[in-house]
Structure 1
Amino acid sequence: MLQIDTWKRVLIWALVVAGLVLAAPNLFYSRVESHNDAVKAIETSGSTPEREAEAAQWPSWLPSDLVNLGLDLRGGAHLLAEVRVADVYAARMESLWPDVRDVLRDARDEVGTIRLQDSAPGTLRVRISNPDGMARALELVRGLAQPVVSLTGAGATDLQVAGDGNEVVVTLSEAEKQATDERTLQQSLEIIRRRIDEVGTREPTIQRQGADRILIEVPGIGSAEELKNIIGTTAQLTFQPVVSRSGNANESAGVGNEVLPSMDEDGVYYVLEQAPVVTGEELTDAQPTYDQNGRPAVSFRFNPGGARKFGDYTAENIGSPFAIVLDDEVISAPVIQSHIAGGSGIITGDFSVEEANNLAVLLRAGALPAGMDFLEERTIGPQLGQDSIEAGKLATAVAFAMVLVFMFLSYGLFGLFANVALILNIGLIMGILSMIGATLTLPGIAGIVLTVGMAVDANVLIFERIREELKSARGPARAIELGYEKALSAIVDANITTIITAIILYVMGSGPVRGFAITLGLGIVTSVFTAIWVTRLLIVMWFERRRPKTLEI
């Protein structure tokens, strides 16, 4: 008998209604987007009358998830950055100097006095006064080497140590350089992604290109310069010992030291030791707060390793100044009054509330391991995106209309049922895309247009099979039932092969290719659901009401 259980009918209509409700916010895109932005701003920065008014534009009890528009639809910024991996080599050698100094100082009776020498970036040169102790010095410094942590560098160490006259020369090994390059690119990708996510930008494309380049595309951002401001700040926080304070920018720093300006005091410069006591990489948290005078500040907390080093240094240097340095500027240089245990503290300065928030964001995201050169930057205006949207709408509408007309002319009333299911199918696709927060691009629209054409394939197979069963002198009810049963295997086989193709495109592709694969895959799932269940339910409801003696398809 041609029938569908009541619970199945309820479930089918519930799924359809849920999909349409999830898709509904996209019909009021600007209003819902303003509501979402206002709600997020209220949660992070507090309520204002303007934000409350914007939040009230959309009922809070309704779904507010939207389909994110990609760069080609919404406009935004495009950057191609090259990571200066050589900076990491230089930083490694600078941070190695205290260890080399300590290990050679313990053997001073063999190697004599030691002195750091000027050297090229990425190279550490240390002069010893007793050339006869060179072998011992090389042995001690080589003892600082560690195994390279990478699959390609198995069995190798990270340092190359050689003698040059009475100088010990230390560089990174080639295996370590390769491993460092890989770690630097991965760390840069992650930090850039975290920084962009922190400011609430939707669905960026951040991916590696080649050996040392990163592609960054962010929809909805005002300009490439704005994007550079978000990711271009390194936010490298260090705590460095103060050698002296001066009003001369050309002050002689000496080997192993550097001269940095004060952020708050014009014309004031500090001579600091280059090797930091603690770095921002050892921070675990940073939050905006207020100091004892009610001025905006940033509180911070170190991990156990950083807390131990910070505590040891403050315990040994009570009464001495130390500098808090952010991006080569001294924020403040307080005098250590007591042992600071626990690994937490506060950064004060001439901050506004917004600056304190931004600094906390950057510190939480972490320091970029190396500087970046922007090789290519483009700002894609929203007008181009609007043109793309209009072109996509037109293509979808034309395809949609032609399919609807074809189905009606070919199958009459049954074609109308298929058309209703096709309309619901589009709504379900948009609802699922909204629910999972997917990004819609031009290739994604192409996937939807292709789905419109493919969505009726299952109905065509079913209707043609029903026609064949009617020719065998079957009754209408039995013909419909057999039509669905015998067409099912062909429908499943055809759509499984397409699903496999969509999965391969998603796994192997990136960016626009993935967008196409997502909409194509979701479209296949929803079209099979609407063809097998929704169309069948419409036909069964019609058949139960009319009880026709014959069928004309």
Structure 2
Amino acid sequence: MTPTALWKRLLILAVCLWGVFAALPNAFYSRVEGHNDAAVAIEKAGGVATPDQDAALGTWPAFLPSALMPLGLDLRGGAHLLAKVEVEDVYKARIDGLWPEVRDALRDLRDQVGAVRRAPSPDDELRVTVSNPEGMVAAVQAVQALATPVYTLTGVGAADIEVTAEGADIVVRLSEAERAASDDRTVQQSLEIIRNRVDEVGTREPTILRQGSDRILIQVPGIGSASELKTLIGTTAKLTFNPVVKTTTNAGADAGARNALLPARNETGLYYIVEETPVVTGEELVDAQPSFDQNGQPAVSFRFDGAGARKFGDYTAANIGAPFAIVLDDEVISAPVIQSHIPGGNGIITGSFTVEESTELAILLRAGALPASLTFLEERTIGPELGADSVAAGKLAAVIGMIAVAVYMVASYGLFGVFANIALAVNMLILIALLSTIGATLTLPGIAGIVLTVGMAVDANVLIFERIREELRAGLSPPKAVEAGFARALSAIIDSNVTGLLTALIMFFIGSGPVRGFAVTMSLGILTSMFTAVYVTRLVVELWLNARRPKTIVV
């Protein structure tokens, strides 16, 4: 039998040893997971660690690999939500934003249109009344000049607004093209904000996908309940800084035109009347971090971008001594009096927070405000006990499958069956190492793929061993029969595995969810099976033949 080249032997051994070491962390899952979580937390804190984090970090040696196979929702337990994005919410904000532009555009035509005021109208349209209808044509043209083209996949289409005249009113509506584009932007923005919020709290391997035109699927393994997940992602976290008109204890007080009556978050019975148009908003925040105020109480420090810093600085300089409301989700969480000019766009939010509340608020502000509200159409909580049962059942199925295959191989091929079982064990280690390294989430269908791999892994060995039997019956010596068996079975092995690999790839690209999880495991299993059957088994048999030099062999 022609000996395998030394470099090939070393390469095969190196891959096998890598598989052992890379798969090892999964045997100590909880310990390594705690180590990884502590490492991430310390990195986020700028290298500062708590005693508990130091202890968790020391539970696993730093020189060993620490990548794990992430467990999916069905194995780990967690929360499942299907949310609908209420895209119509954005129309009102867009229309409200148009009013200052329309007002400014008509200001230059005051001698033609007379006085201009905003008239009551539905949320999705802007109605502006002019006192001199004779200038309506010029007014409509001035407002139409504010329109911008809507960019779509097919190029530039319609304008973003439609302007018409109805009596003494100018009516501005969003065009159908703009509504469609706005709906798509709203869902995409919601998707990214939800992903940012979930990632910020360190949950593991969340699945966040768009479904249909206005729905988002959220699956987060390891979180306590669906209600906890809803609290995290469903909070709008809309932050604004509004001028205060006055305070009142009357819950039904008339706020006046373009003002809003908002309750105080931490003072029951106190209400603030604030100007509806904010000076700056949370969209102009570039950072928010939990901190402590001068009294050592939990707070949130923030920083605006350049435009927000200028507006914030200009307002504080012009309104020293006036109260300034910090509004979060239509509640006044703080209304400090401006003591001096605040340049630079830095500030702090106080409001009788706990440490947990200040941390959560900072996360929500960093992630940004949801552009529209969410309606949860479906919610499920999968308990960790069910996930543990699934893991146990999957392990049991894999062990039973491996034992059955191992017994069959030994019963059918004797010592050569033992060699095949050694290759099978190496195959499983390399497969687990690959899944851990690439971070592929393991689900129940993935376990099914592993169990299938166990059966498929010995198919190549069966082809090789049967071919060796034929060569022995033809009168070849054991070394030559073994060499011929491996060489002449290779084409059949490649054909069978390539067709299986193509099937798995089609499943991956066409399927979704569980099907793709199964396809990933199956694809990797086919690749590792070919490697171990053709190279590892051959190396083991070759080492045995060179060591024992038998005159006859029984396969």
**What residue in structure 2 maps to residue 419 of structure 1?**
421
Give the match's secondary structure for 2:499.
helix
Give the Cα–Cα distance (whole angstroms) in 1 for the partners of residues 320 and 152 of structure 2. 41
Kindly report which structure 2 residues correspond to 1:210-359, keeping only aligned pairs within 5 A, or say none.
210-311=212-313, 313-314=315-316, 320-336=322-338, 340-359=342-361
Which among 68, 80, 83 is matched to residue 81 of structure 1?
83
Query: Counterpart in 1 of 2:70?
Result: 68
Measured after TM superposition, the shift of residue 544 of structure 1 is 1.0
Q: Whole-Å Cα distance in 2 between the matches of residues 463 and 317 of structure 1?
A: 89
User: Superposition RMSD on alpha carbons, in Å?
Assistant: 2.3
Helix, strand or coil for the counterpart of 2:152?
Answer: coil
User: Are 1:3 and 2:10 an aligned pair?
Assistant: no
Structure 2 partner of 1:428: 430
Q: Specify whether residues 181 and 276 from structure 1 end up closer, same or farther in structure 2 by C-alpha distance, changes over 3 A only.
A: same
Q: Which residue of 1 aligns with 2:149?
A: 147
Pair 1:170–1:273, CA change in 2 (3 A): farther
Partner in structure 1 of residue 393 of structure 2 = 391
Shift of 1:186: 1.1
User: How far 1:422 sits from its partner (Å)?
Assistant: 0.6
Alpha-carbon distance, 1:180 to partner:
0.9
Do residues 173 (structure 1) and 175 (structure 2) align?
yes
Partner AA of 1:193 in structure 2: R
Instruction: Tell me the distance in 1 between the aligned counterparts of 2:373 and 2:413.
Output: 64
When residues 333 and 137 of structure 1 are mapped into structure 2, their CA distance, relative to the original with a 3 A threshold, is: farther
Query: How far 1:385 moved relative to its partner?
Result: 1.7
Map of 2:120 onto structure 1: 118
- Offset, 1:496: 2.2
Query: 1:76, 1:379 within 8 Å by CA — same for their partners in 2?
Result: yes
User: Cα gap change, 1:194/1:147 in structure 2, threshold over 3 Å: closer, same or farther?
Assistant: same
- Once residues 242 and 65 of structure 1 are traced to their aligned partners in structure 2, the CA distance between those partners, rounded to angstroms, is 53
- Unpaired segments of 5 or more residues in structure 2? none
> What does 1:456-535 align with in structure 2 at a 5 Å threshold?
456-535=458-537
TM-score, normalized by length of structure 1?
Answer: 0.93
Distance 1:287 1:409 in 2: 65
Residue 41 (structure 1) shift: 4.3
What is the deviation of 1:252?
1.5
Higher mean displacement: 26-35 or 85-94: 26-35
- 33-42 vs 58-67, which deviates more? 33-42
Instruction: Give the letter aligned to residue 364 of structure 1.
Output: R
User: In structure 1, how many angstroms separate the alpha carbons of the residues matched to 2:339 and 2:54?
Assistant: 46
Secondary structure, in 3 states, of the residue corresponding to 1:3?
coil
Structure 1 residue aligned with 2:27: 27
- Listed as ranges, the gaps of 5+ residues in structure 1 are none
Return the offset for 1:146.
Answer: 1.3
Of residues 356, 368, 371 in structure 2, which corresponds to 1:369?
371
Distance 2:550 2:446 in 1: 42
- The Cα of 1:311 is off from its aligned counterpart by 4.6
Letter in 2 for 1:377: E
Q: Which amino acid is the alignment partner of residue 522 of structure 1?
A: L
Matched length: 553
Q: Partner amino acid for 1:149?
A: Y
- Work out the CA distance in 2 between the residues paired with 1:144 and 1:335: 38
Moved more, 53-62 or 385-394: 53-62
Given that residues 467 and 488 in structure 2 are in contact (C-alpha distance below 8 angstroms), is that contact kept between their aligned partners in structure 1?
yes
Any conservation in 2 of the 1:31–1:58 contact (CA below 8 Å)?
yes
When the two structures are superposed, what TM-score results if normalisation uses the length of structure 2?
A: 0.93
Output the CA distance in 2 between the equivalents of 1:177 and 1:421. 60
For 2:165 and 2:241, locate their aligned partners in 1 and report how far apart those are by CA, in whole Å: 32
**Contact 1:148-1:175 within 8 A present in 2 as well:** yes
Could you tell me which amino acid in structure 2 is paired with residue 22 of structure 1?
A
Aligned residue number for residue 133 of structure 2: 131
Once the 2 structures are TM-superposed, how far is the Cα of residue 464 of structure 1 from its aligned partner? 2.2
Identity over aligned pairs, percent: 64
**Alignment equivalent of 2:448, drawn from 446, 449, 464:** 446
Query: Residue type of the partner of 1:20?
Result: V
Query: Does structure 1 retain, via aligned residues, the 8 Å contact 2:151–2:157?
Result: no
